Structure formats: structure tokens, C-alpha cells
Amino acid sequence: MDSNLSTAEELMAALRAGDVTSVELTDEAIARIERDDKEINSVCVPDFDRAREAAHAADRARARGEDRPLLGLPMTVKESYDIAGLPTTWGMPQHRDHMPAEDAVQVSRVKAAGAVVLGKTNVPLGLQDIQSFNEIYGTTNNPWDHARTSGGSSGGSAAALAAGFGALSLGSDLAGSLRTPASFCGVYSHKPTLGLAAIRGMVPPATPTLPPEPDLAVVGPMARSARDLSLLLDVMAGPDPLTLGLSHSVALPPARHERLGDFRVLVLDDHPLLPSGSDVRAGVRRVADGLAEGGARVEWHSPLLPDLTEAATLYMHLLFSGSTARFPLDTYEQLRAYVSELSPDDRSLSAARLRGMVFSHRDWMEANTLREAHRHGWRRLFAEFDAVVCPITPTPAFPHDHDPDLLGRRIDIDGAEYPYFDQLAWAGLATMPGLPATAVPTGPSPAGLPVGVQLIGPMHEDRTPLRLAELLERQIGGFQAPPR
């Protein structure tokens, strides 16, 4: 057994059986990072000395008869999470020396569960890209093809998992930041229902570490197997102990079904505003075929599906209104003047992003009311279906593109160019209404690059897409290590 590519479940079983120690696993993981990460550059802030100390402490605890969900398991954490004693920069040069005084609530939870934190993984500048590079830590390469991106903003975590640097990782998702890197690197991730996992301590540097109530953003688990996602989510789930945690606890309902043949699944591969590339469509088809062969009821169309054009436009409005909320007043006024010149007939996603940048509070309230209507539409759909299978992004991992003009970048889909941020449309399908979505690999494309799809489930029923992911892993296969 290659411990560096084993699942967390396998490693926990070996630790409990006494077949291996945490010190051994930690030393093996550190040796692999020191050997292989020079070319990938995923673990940007190593914490090896403290990891070894934690591993020794875990072995002593186990010798005393203790057992915790992650006791002795090596893992990584996205750079954007606060860890006391390590810098949290979000890739922003002006914050390269920012050192938080306490751990993020999720870091505290995985440590309390016994995890050994190997270090932090790379992110894009301000977490605002579909790639992971910045002036402080450089570029993270895709383990499958170093000329291509690992994705963003949890790209360092996805690359680390694919390369065998720890069995689990903590990531976050606002615009597909858990799911896109998982798709690009061939691993698993889960975007929880909005609000399921506390997010305090995952905030920009120099921002007060207060309990936030994010509009779209979530934190979630990343792993090399579907079952490992549930293992880590069980540790992460629950409200902030400073707020709702004073009176609320989490009791997620069980998965709707245990057998693949009992699932009712709607499959989508076509978006009205953006084509899906041939490699991605083939991946969706592999999943649909696997579901059908396993006896699931598979449909490709439903009148209950909320309008995808309206959903993507609404998502861009909400996403970009939040991303520009702290712009200087003069910049905001310049944007308002630019938007005023847009044609009322321009209903492109590029126009939606620009309009969202200058949203008023009234605009946001109207958009939020429309979002509630979409949520109700999803409730009606999930009365007839248990999950929706669809792309995460329209392509496999694309070549590095460091053009500083993000709005001027283009994405190539089967030889045709589209605005760079249009590729967020599929990720926004689950993000805008706050639905849970599990990213699963479908196998390499003909070009040898990973392709993933997302399984979107009913709100607050995270165990349903997670269980479907487990069954799919058995049916069509799961993680494959990149060639070395």
C-alpha cells in the first residue's frame, strides 16, 4: 500500500490496527512533498516541525487508548484559513507578514479530531481567479500537466491531493473554488449547503475575525475518495460556537437511498449561454451511462428545471456585487458610468457581471427575492429527482494564463473563444441557491487530462449527493494518480 496515495479511510484503519504510526505516515508525506513539490508548488507554507510534533502526540494518545475521527492523519489546509503561527496572505503581497493569533474554527475542528496539519496550500491573488498563482508563492502546476493550471481558488489543495501530499484538505468555494480544482486534478470535493459549516477565520488578512454570514461562500472538504468527503464533512459540519452554535446543533438527514438503482437523476450537459466542450460532454455521458447500468432512473430533460439563463445572470449579479463592494468610490462611479452605456438588450454574462458590480441595495434585494423563487423551483424539482448531474466547467484544465486583465481573458472551448468568467456559469448553478454539490472524477479525457462532474443535491440533504458519489465511485471508478 502506497500510504501517500491511500484514502483517509484506509489510513485510519491502518492506524487503528497498529499497522502504521502517525509519525511514519507524517514522515512519508513530508518526504514526498520535499521530493515532488518543487515542480508542482502546491504546499506553499510548510509546517513540518509542528506536524512531526502533532504526529508524536497522536501516537501517544492512541497508545493511551484514545480514538478520534482523524487521529494521526496527515492533511493540508488552504492558505486562506488562519493558522496561528503561520502567515495568512490570500496571495496579497501587502499582507505577506500577516500572522493571525488564532486558528480558524475549521482548523480548530480538524486539530481537535486529531489531524496532523502538514502545511498550507497555494491560492490565487485574493482568491479571485480560476487558477492558483500569486507574487508571494508563485504558480501551482497541475500534476497531470505542469503547463496547465490546477484550478482555483483551492488549486493548491487539489494538486496536493492528486500528488499524494496528505489524504485530506480543507478548501472553500464561492465560484466553484472547491469543484473546479477537483475537476482539473481528478480528485473529489464537496460544496456543502450554504451555512452548514462555520467559516470564521477564513477571511481576508487584516479583516476582523468575526462570525460572518456569507451570501454565497462556503468551506468544505477535499479528498481522493467519496467516502473521505463524508469523513471530513462530519468534522466540519456545525454552526459557529459564537453564534448559532449556542443553541443549534446539526443533524443532517440520511441519504435518500442506499442503492444506486433507487436514485432518480436528472442529467444536464447543455447550457443556453455556454457550450460544454467535447471532453466534458463525454465525461457527463460516462456518468449517465454508469448510472443507467446501475439501475438508476436517468432523465435528460425536465420542465421543473429552473431557467438556466436567469440562474446564471442572477449568479453573476450576486457574485460580482459582493466582489466589488469595497471598491473605492471613484472606481465605483467609473463603473456606474460605463454600465450606463450598456445597451438594455445586452443580456450577456459579461454585461451581467458589470451590472452586478454597481448594484444598489435595492438591486440586491430584488435579486435576492428572485433567488428565493429559484430555491423554491429547486425544491419542486427535488420532489421528483434526487440529484442533478452536470458539468463543473466547460473544459478540462487549461494552460496557464497570467494576463492581469482578467475581464479581457478568454477561454477556449473546442476552438471557439468565450469570456474567461463565463465558465463560472455551471458552478453558479449550485452556488446561487446555496445547494450542496459533490465533485466526482469521471476519468481522463482522450488528451489524458482529468474531467469531473458535479452531483447537485437538495438543500440540507448533503448526504444524498455524497452517497451517490460513493456509489458512482464503485460503478465507474474514482481517483487515478497522475503519471510520474
- Looking from the CA of 208 toward its CB, the CA atoms found within 13 Å total 3
Among the listed residues 147, 145, 140, the one whose alpha carbon sits nearest the alpha carbon of residue 400: 147
Instruction: Kindly name the residue from 177, 183, 276, 321 that is annotated as catalytic.
Output: 177
Residue among 133, 103, 87, 115 at smallest CA distance from 29: 115
Could you confirm whether 78 is annotated as catalytic? Answer: yes
Nearest-angstrom CA–CA distance, 293 and 278: 22
The full DSSP string for 224-238 is: SSHHHHHHHHHHHBB
Residue 222 near residue 151, CB atoms below 8 Å: no
Active-site residue flag, 153: yes
Q: Which one of 6, 42, 78, 108 is the catalytic residue?
A: 78
What is the 3-state secondary structure of 446-459? CCCCEEEEEEECCC
**DSSP-assigned letters across all residues of 166-194:** -SEEEEEESSSTTHHHHHHHT-EEEEPPT
Angle (nearest 5°) at CA 319 between 314 and 323: 150
Residue 466 half-sphere exposure toward CB, CA atoms < 13 A = 29
Closest CA to 453 of 247, 286, 326, 301: 286
Helices (H), ranges, 197-307 = 226-236, 278-293
Active-site amino acid positions: 78, 153, 177
